[in-house]
Amino acid sequence: MDTPERATRAPRAPPPPGGGGGGGDLSAIFTVLVCFLAIFFMLILPTTSALKNGFSVVHQVPEGHVGVYWRGGALLNTITDPGYHIKLPLITEFEPIQVTLQTDLVRDIPCGTKGGVMITFEKIEVVNRLNKDYVHSTLRDYGVNYDNTWIYDKIHHEINQFCSAHSLQQVYIDMFDQIDEKMKDALQADCTRYAPGIEILSVRVTKPNIPESIRRNFEQMEEERTKVLIAIERQKVSEKEAETKRKIAISEAEKNAQVSLIQMEQKLMEKDSERKKEEIENQMYTAREKSLADANYYRALREAEANKLMITPQFLELKFIEAIANNTKIFFGDKVPNMIFDQRLLGNFLQDVDRKDNLES
């Protein structure tokens, strides 16, 4: 069945001379290549220039920035976060705006002091940050280069205002440590009033450049001031040393006085102890002598009582007889009997006295 049909087909015409078919293939390949390159430029290439920014469809917002868009020169309300985003090429323009801390460096700021001396601040650094919530309003009012208006130009203005109100001595030495805070406060005050999205965190001002002759004078003044300060410090050191010696002497004197007082108190205590000891000894001696006297008195009293009891006519007569017996000398004469008789009369008299005492008692 296939064979008759294949036999009835018309023969294929030969290709025209000159290779017309090959030219059509090259045109198609060129068209595909152009389209590929266009897509590559529109989608793949990063937006690093205004031309690429205008032609690109995919663009990248770096970290710490937000994406802001313009269409036909008008600022759009759209604000994108970091990452990849899509926009219309040639119609929508894109710009990344930094919302993290950034340092704006202002260089070579000339100013004239109150006395007419021209000085130059070589470098002033302003650390600032644009609040993410105020990006749209700030760019709408002051453009992408908002920091030119509120930082660069404002620093020039504030520095000249400060210099014109103060002398070179104040700007260069006396009030130099206050310039940072004064500039920060001045910038922040105007930003808070007119551009609230801008936050001034700190200002660092370098030492200004002054004429060489004046600088040498300041250096000489500083040297003299340093010498004066050294002399003052030496005087203070000498005074401190004298004060220290005085305190040491006072401390030694107080210590010696306290030692003398303690020694005196010790001697007084020893004397008092000796006095008390003597008093005790005297009391003991007095008590002992009194006891002895009392004992002697009591013994004499008892002996007197005993003698009183013992002196009786019989006892006296006995003692008389003993005395006569013990006497080796015997006298003979007319008076001997009388002596014996007298002794008996004495015994009788004593008996009468004793009897009367008994009756009276």
Structure tokens at 54: 């205008």
> b/e string for 189-210 if b means 16 or more Cβ within 10 A?
ebbeeebebbbbeebebeebeb
Same domain, 357 and 326: yes
198 in a structural domain: yes
236 in a structural domain: no
**pLDDT at residue 30 in the model:** 73
Same domain, 125 and 91: no
If one compares 20 and 150, the residue with the highest pLDDT of the two is 150
Same domain, 68 and 107: no
Same domain, 119 and 201: yes
11 in a structural domain: no
Same domain, 108 and 206: yes
Q: What is the identity of the amino acid at 17?
A: P
Question: At 121, which CATH number?
Answer: 3.30.479.30
Same domain, 144 and 169: yes
* Per-residue 3-state assignment (H helix, E strand, C coil) for the chain: CHHHHHHHCCCCCCCCCCCHHHHHHHHHHHHHHHHHHHHHHHHHCCCCCHHHHHHCCEEEECCCEEEEEEECCEEEEEEECCEEEECCCCCEEEEEEECCCEEEEEEEEEEECCCCCEEEEEEEEEEEEECHHHHHHHHHHHCCCHHHHHHHHHHHHHHHHHHHCCCHHHHHHHCHHHHHHHHHHHHHHHHHHHCCCEEEEEEEECCCECCHHHHHHHHHHHHHHHHHHHHHHHHHHHHHHHHHHHHHHHHHHHHHHHHHHHHHHHHHHHHHHHHHHHHHHHHHHHHHHHHHHHHHHHHHHHHHHHHHHHCCHHHHHHHHHHHHHHCCCCCCCCCHHHHHHHHHHHHHHHHHHHHHHHHHC
Same domain, 200 and 158: yes
> Sorting pLDDT into bands at 50, 70 and 90, what band is 36?
low
Same domain, 69 and 164: no
The residue among 81, 58, 188 whose CA lies nearest residue 135 is 81
**pLDDT at residue 318 in the model:** 76
Domain hosting 76: range is: 28-97
66 in a structural domain: yes
Last residue of a domain, one of 210, 226, 242: 210
Q: Out of 63-72, 200-209, 288-297, 341-350, which region has the weakest mean confidence (pLDDT)? A: 341-350
Structure tokens at 1: 């069945």
If one compares 12 and 198, the residue with the highest pLDDT of the two is 198
195 in a structural domain: yes
Alpha-carbon distance 344 to 326, whole Å?
19
pLDDT in tens, 148-172: 999 999 999 999 999 999 998 899 8
Span 317-330, average pLDDT? 70
143 in a structural domain: yes
Same domain, 161 and 177: yes
**pLDDT at residue 1 in the model:** 36
Last residue of a domain, one of 164, 189, 210: 210
Same domain, 79 and 157: no
Number of domains in the chain: 3
130 in a structural domain: yes
299 in a structural domain: no
> Sorting pLDDT into bands at 50, 70 and 90, what band is 54?
low
Last residue of a domain, one of 148, 180, 210: 210
Same domain, 44 and 143: no
Same domain, 65 and 163: no
pLDDT in tens, 199-211: 999 999 999 998 8
- Please, what is the average pLDDT of the chain? 81
